[in-house]
Structure 1
Amino acid sequence: GEGRCMSIQAMQSLYELRENNQLCDAVIKLDDGSIFPVHRAILSACSLYFRAAFTTLLHDTEKKDVSITGVTTDMMKILLSYAYLRQIKVTDENVYQLLVTADYLCIIGVVDLCCAYLIARLSPTNCIGIMQFARKHYCKKLEQEAEKYLMRYFVQVANLSYELLLLSLEEIKVIIAADELNVKSEEIVWEAVLRWVNYDPENRKKHIVVLMKAIRLGLLDTQFFLEHVKDHPYVTSCEESRPMIIETLKFLYDLEMITHRDGEVTTPEIARPRVPHEILFAIGGWSGGSPTNYIETYDTRADRWVKVDEIDPTGPRAYHGTAVVNFSIYIVGGFDGMDYFNSCRCFDAVKKTWKEVAPMNARRCYVSVTVLNDIIYAMGGYDGHHRQNTAEKYNYLTNQWSLIAPMNMQRSDASACTLNGKIYITGGFNGQECMHSAEVYDSESNQWTMISPMRSRRSGVSCIAYHGQVFVIGGFNGITRMCSGEKYNPATNSWSQIPDMYNPRSNFAIEVIDDMIFAIGGFNGVTTIYHVECYDEKTNEWYEATDMNIYRSALSACVITGLPNVYDYIHKHREKLMEEKRQKMIAIENQR
């Protein structure tokens, strides 16, 4: 600590020497006549430009003059302050000029600070401009981050960005053709194209065919294609669009008649799904009368489950919890048919490696797990003897568990989630009965408070934060497995009903992905299931999604966003999706 203070003092002294023109051994001259006496060694230490200037110019005199063109007095003052004091105030007003000047003078430290500043301020309205600026000035990392942002938040960019309207044909085509474009529906891409053309219709409507080739027309809803694309004036007035319209109509018709086709059906380019930005992992559980360590991921764009080979080498577990921090999945507690676990495992989804992390203070099977501010919370559960009211939290930075205040109730087989900076836990079993009580935890005051009870008793329940409310779904009420659900509004401290699922289930996994709630697997009262369904609040309806590869209950699911190696976890053969669908439908028909 003291050494560091000394160095700040020393830097301050050198800066004062410069300001008083003492012991300076060079002079910087600018276009506007400004002169800055400097110390060669200080500037050479932070700038390759000055190091080259001072070490390769052969002068006999002690003083060395360096004339710099195109740099303002204000910029030079800021950069000298950085060179001497390592202090700099980057603002919205100066960041671009500062970056360009620092790049010109090879002051890498300032370039990095400016890039970090712009990355932190990326938004739907500025990301295209920042990407173009970075490309022009060869700031590779900034360009990559801006492009990644544009891809991930394209829905907002398409609606809000004025910069989008100023793009050239080639630039917008590259963006909308990208596999990484994060759109749940191609309708968004079509609307973005129209918005771009409408900005200058006379000069741009002739480009509609080029842009249509970049849209996955085969993924559009048939009704939407017929009503909004096929008969749009820009399309009907353009003769070259006819082959594309015919190809799309043929594909959409074939889709309806897929089982009647002979031979293998390929998936054309117009129907190749894009790449998802979120990956759902379903981990472990109970399958075929025993625990499993099976892992599969769900590719929302292809609507397919993909087996993951890198399973936990230490063996299976069920009735556990999962939590995501950065790109790591933590598997907390659980049961393997013999042992009730306090142990925790960690899977690094980028490196695909497993490791043991610190164990909890208590054994917890049927545990409830959630994450708040990168801290993992584990609550309640069963240790083989008692249903617990204790709870604890894990800090991955220190690899340490510490106890928090106990809950008001003993809860095993409950479910927890995080909403608006608070932790909610719902239902569960206390050893005597299935519960309808629920409580909320405030991490700042370390206090649990009871909230209004649910409308139904629910053990083996799942709850999740969604659209500002806590959604509680399914579970066992002591008599039967339920398909009902309810949602809690924190503002009114009240519960209201939501539509029923198609399948009753308890001990299933739940997650939000693509702005929908997914209910995955579970037990229906008779058998373990692999059915998956999703709820969309916009339509207030449940939809069936593709089944998992294996039947399982007591599993846990989590979502990782923005994985750099996302291609490792998605459906590999996107050109075979249609054929897979055909084979599946033929199999179903043959079963009838």
Structure 2
Amino acid sequence: MDRQPSPEQGLERLFLTEAPGQRGVWCLRRGRGRGSCTDSTVGSCVGSDLTRGAGGEQSLVGLRGGSLDVREQSRVEPAAGEVQQGHWSLTEACPEAERARPRQPRPTAPMEGAMQLLSREGHTVSHNSKRHYHDAFVAMSRMRQRGLLCDIVLHVAAKEIRAHKVVLASCSPYFHAMFTNEMSESRQTHVTLHDIDPQALDQLVQFAYTAEIVVGEGNVQTLLPAASLLQLNGVRDACCKFLLSQLDPSNCLGIRGFADTHSCSDLLKAAHRYVLQHFVDVAKTEEFMLLPLKQVLELVSSDSLNVPSEEDVYRAVLSWVKHDVDARRQHVPRLMKCVRLPLLSRDFLLGHVDAESLVRHHPDCKDLLIEALKFHLLPEQRGVLGTSRTRPRRCEGAGPVLFAVGGGSLFAIHGDCEAYDTRTDRWHVVASMSTRRARVGVAAVGNRLYAVGGYDGTSDLATVESYDPVTNTWQPEVSMGTRRSCLGVASLHGLLYAAGGYDGASCLNSAERYDPLTGTWTSIAAMSTRRRYVRVAMLDGNLYAVGGYDSSSHLATVEKYEPQVNSWTPVASMLSRRSSAGVAVLEGALYVAGGNDGTSCLNSVERYSPKAGAWESVAPMNIRRSTHDLVAMDGWLYAVGGNDGSSSLNSIEKYNPRTNKWVAASCMFTRRSSVGVAVLELLNFPPPSSPTLSVSSTSL
């Protein structure tokens, strides 16, 4: 019986061998039987060119621009390094191709005593220990305490501090440069440090291991310079934070100097700001008395100095001079040039400044005194006489606060007042006036608020009172020469102007001016038209009296007062007749909002441009308002209170000139029509023990 051929007989084999002298290049040869091979070369390829065909067949690509299919026909095991039809093994012959060939997961060979695991591509587990760094540094700290593996000893004064260079270099740029550059210390095991406190260095080395340090009054003055030297900015910042929390009038100058010495710019700015904001108290301290002349000059010449009155600056200067009068009397003229003498009252100038021997014996000081008195004697020329010494100071950090004063509601006239702080969006009740006032004129002069005239429910008033935000008190001022309610009030060049109104018998066109420095009222030119329910505003150094009621009709006319020539002249009339309107100036334009035209309460708004000499309409308010007040603050116009034709209002809306839209603002505590409104720039607000109310904006 014929023997069947073995599976190997008659089959052509393909052998894959590495080309001589060309590592990684493989030649495919034909042959029959084990070990037999012809010299005919089918082709060559790089091991990574071996791929699996889309249909599951195996192919060897790169052979003369094509591919050779190797399909399954036999299960005979090939010799190592050969490729057979139907079965192949490239593990030894072509390792790169073997690694590139896709594989199915297969059980790994079990290790003795081990479980059998699956090999899955991309299946791993990531581990991240959050405590590793902490535990490692704790261990290194313990090693340092025991002296294990320490490779550096720091010598400072009589103290020796052992440590590890790698720890110090990893935390401090100073030590990193010392131990990693070509410095002699990088090869030494003992290093001596200078200009650093031993205890501070010990604390900072301990910080390098533990990331913990306690800063207090007992170590901050040595710790901060040491941290600066070692460039440990985190510790340096902690020291600055502690010193910032310690600021007080008694030490702020010392902290400012300390910050300047060690280039702590943020602390320096904060300490300097604190000095300016608390100057009255700082000027009474020993630190101030010991300041050099240059620093005193810098302080008293600052526009940002927070002082209730220029009298405080004058007294501070004299106190500093008299602390060492023999050495410092020569500096009086330079110091007096920084005191804004024109802002002092005439009584103070004559009773204190002129009477002070240190001042009156210097010719330069006499010239300054004459300049101040001239400023007082020629109030109508103050716009021309203005210098840096006539400009009121404005404290850095001060913000605008809106005051709503008096007014009335159904069957009531108010003497109480409230104030709105835009920084906190809160209303605060402040001290009440001594007299109830509706139809009142309100304006700010310097850092005080003035309530002028009005109606108390019985009679029209000539009385005036002013509010001091520092003491949260009202005090009486000199009364006007005429009773006035429904008047217009505005301030210009430190003077308070009152125009028009009603005296209880007739509508007025007269006007007068009050000088807080001299405490006197002076009559000025009368308006061309009688006006009650009029509003007055200041624009470009002139006063504008807008609209009103002349006892027969509501007015659209407007007139302008020029203080230098003491005369009123007409300007373009409004687009609508308006009495009891709100008037304010914003971004060089005069705005008038709402009011009454004789038939109805208005919500329309218009704007006057002095350059164009014409009025134009802008977006109307959301609510009709008359007997309200209008004020500019933070780039917005605020329409406050008033009457909508049927009831008094506590609502407020504000106008954005950039979007030409009105939006709601926080409401007042109290409904107020015929209210007076003004804005003060304040640093410390609210006053102590003031009730507050936070009211979110409501839809109008």
Q: TM-score, normalised by structure 1?
A: 0.52
- 1:213-224 to structure 2, matched below 5 A, reads 213-224=337-348
User: How far 1:73 sits from its partner (Å)?
Assistant: 3.0
Deviations 1:47-94 (A, max 9, x none): 111111011145699763322123343222211121111111111121
Residue 27 (structure 1) aligned to one of 143, 153, 163: 153
1:280 aligns with 2:400: yes
Residue 335 (structure 2) aligned to one of 211, 215, 218: 211
> Could you tell me which residue of structure 1 aligns to residue 381 of structure 2?
258
1:55 aligns with 2:180: yes
> Could you tell me which residue of structure 1 aligns to residue 387 of structure 2?
268
1:174 aligns with 2:174: no
Structure 1 19/519 Cα, relative in aligned 2: closer, same or farther at 3 Å? farther
Aligned residues: 351
Residue 410 (structure 2) aligned to one of 446, 465, 478: 478
> Could you tell me which residue of structure 1 aligns to residue 282 of structure 2?
157
> Could you tell me which residue of structure 2 aligns to residue 244 of structure 1?
368
Cα distance in 2, alignment partners of residues 140 and 173 from structure 1: 21
Structure 1 583/224 Cα, relative in aligned 2: closer, same or farther at 3 Å? farther
> Could you tell me which residue of structure 2 aligns to residue 129 of structure 1?
254
Cα distance in 2, alignment partners of residues 241 and 76 from structure 1: 54
Contact 1:474 1:484 in 2 (8 A): yes
User: How far 1:41 sits from its partner (Å)?
Assistant: 2.3
Match of 1:135, SS state, is: helix
Residue 590 (structure 1) aligned to one of 563, 568, 572: 568
User: How far 1:482 sits from its partner (Å)?
Assistant: 3.0
Give the letter aligned to residue 203 of structure 2.
I
Match of 1:188, SS state, is: helix
Cα distance in 2, alignment partners of residues 106 and 142 from structure 1: 17
- 1:552-591 to structure 2, matched below 5 A, reads 579=541, 585=563, 590=568
1:199 aligns with 2:323: yes
> Could you tell me which residue of structure 1 aligns to residue 434 of structure 2?
499
1:97 aligns with 2:32: no
Match of 2:196, SS state, is: coil
Q: TM-score, normalised by structure 2?
A: 0.44
Residue 232 (structure 2) aligned to one of 107, 110, 113: 107
User: How far 1:237 sits from its partner (Å)?
Assistant: 2.5
Contact 1:53 1:66 in 2 (8 A): no
Deviations 1:357-381 (A, max 9, x none): xxxxxxxxxxxxxxxxxxxxxxxxx
Cα distance in 1, alignment partners of residues 149 and 140 from structure 2: 9
Structure 1 42/542 Cα, relative in aligned 2: closer, same or farther at 3 Å? farther
Match of 2:399, SS state, is: strand
Structure 1 485/36 Cα, relative in aligned 2: closer, same or farther at 3 Å? closer
Deviations 1:176-227 (A, max 9, x none): 1111111231111001011101211122122111100111111111211111
Unaligned runs of 5+ in 1: 283-297, 299-461, 463-472, 487-494, 526-531, 549-575
User: How far 1:235 sits from its partner (Å)?
Assistant: 1.0
> Could you tell me which residue of structure 2 aligns to residue 403 of structure 1?
none
User: How far 1:478 sits from its partner (Å)?
Assistant: 2.4
Deviations 1:551-579 (A, max 9, x none): xxxxxxxxxxxxxxxxxxxxxxxxx9995
Greater helix fraction, Structure 1 or Structure 2: 1
Deviates more, 1:114-123 or 1:6-15: 6-15
Cα distance in 2, alignment partners of residues 44 and 129 from structure 1: 34
Contact 1:40 1:54 in 2 (8 A): yes
Give the structure with higher Rg (CA). Answer: 2
- 1:61-72 to structure 2, matched below 5 A, reads 64-72=189-197
Contact 1:265 1:579 in 2 (8 A): no
Contact 1:25 1:40 in 2 (8 A): yes
Cα distance in 2, alignment partners of residues 185 and 61 from structure 1: 62
Give the letter aligned to residue 590 of structure 1.
W
Cα distance in 1, alignment partners of residues 185 and 435 from structure 2: 88
Give the letter aligned to residue 165 of structure 1.
M
Contact 1:152 1:182 in 2 (8 A): yes
Deviations 1:136-177 (A, max 9, x none): 222211111111111111122123x21000011111011111
Structure 1 227/3 Cα, relative in aligned 2: closer, same or farther at 3 Å? farther
Match of 2:384, SS state, is: coil
User: How far 1:229 sits from its partner (Å)?
Assistant: 0.8
- 1:461-540 to structure 2, matched below 5 A, reads 474=406, 476-483=408-415, 498-500=433-435, 502-504=437-439, 535-536=467-468, 540=474
Contact 1:173 1:214 in 2 (8 A): yes
Cα distance in 2, alignment partners of residues 142 and 591 from structure 1: 54
> Could you tell me which residue of structure 2 aligns to residue 79 of structure 1?
204
Deviations 1:434-490 (A, max 9, x none): xxxxxxxxxxxxxxxxxxxxxxxxxxxx7xxxxxxxxxx64645224434569xxxx
User: How far 1:44 sits from its partner (Å)?
Assistant: 1.7
User: How far 1:588 sits from its partner (Å)?
Assistant: 7.9
> Could you tell me which residue of structure 2 aligns to residue 119 of structure 1?
244
Cα distance in 2, alignment partners of residues 229 and 61 from structure 1: 68
1:226 aligns with 2:350: yes
Cα distance in 2, alignment partners of residues 20 and 578 from structure 1: 79
Identity of aligned residues (%): 30
Deviates more, 1:225-234 or 1:99-108: 99-108
Give the letter aligned to residue 197 of structure 1.
V
> Could you tell me which residue of structure 1 aligns to residue 475 of structure 2?
541
User: How far 1:501 sits from its partner (Å)?
Assistant: 5.2
Give the letter aligned to residue 312 of structure 2.
I
Contact 2:178 2:185 in 1 (8 A): no
Cα distance in 2, alignment partners of residues 480 and 24 from structure 1: 85
Structure 1 86/587 Cα, relative in aligned 2: closer, same or farther at 3 Å? farther
Structure 1 144/206 Cα, relative in aligned 2: closer, same or farther at 3 Å? same
> Could you tell me which residue of structure 1 aligns to residue 513 of structure 2?
none
Contact 1:481 1:504 in 2 (8 A): no
Give the letter aligned to residue 187 of structure 1.
E
Aligned-pair Cα RMSD in Å = 4.3
- 1:137-152 to structure 2, matched below 5 A, reads 137-152=262-277
Contact 1:484 1:500 in 2 (8 A): no
Give the letter aligned to residue 183 of structure 1.
V
Cα distance in 1, alignment partners of residues 455 and 131 from structure 2: 63
Contact 1:482 1:504 in 2 (8 A): no
Match of 1:69, SS state, is: coil
Contact 2:155 2:192 in 1 (8 A): yes
Match of 1:167, SS state, is: coil
User: How far 1:266 sits from its partner (Å)?
Assistant: 4.4
Give the letter aligned to residue 258 of structure 1.
Q
Match of 1:101, SS state, is: helix
Which structure has more relative contact order (CA 8 Å, sep 6+)? It is 1
Cα distance in 2, alignment partners of residues 231 and 146 from structure 1: 36
Cα distance in 2, alignment partners of residues 502 and 61 from structure 1: 82
Structure 1 478/105 Cα, relative in aligned 2: closer, same or farther at 3 Å? same
User: How far 1:249 sits from its partner (Å)?
Assistant: 2.0
User: How far 1:499 sits from its partner (Å)?
Assistant: 0.8
Contact 1:124 1:157 in 2 (8 A): yes
Deviates more, 1:477-486 or 1:265-274: 477-486
Structure 1 49/535 Cα, relative in aligned 2: closer, same or farther at 3 Å? same
Contact 1:26 1:65 in 2 (8 A): yes
User: How far 1:590 sits from its partner (Å)?
Assistant: 2.9
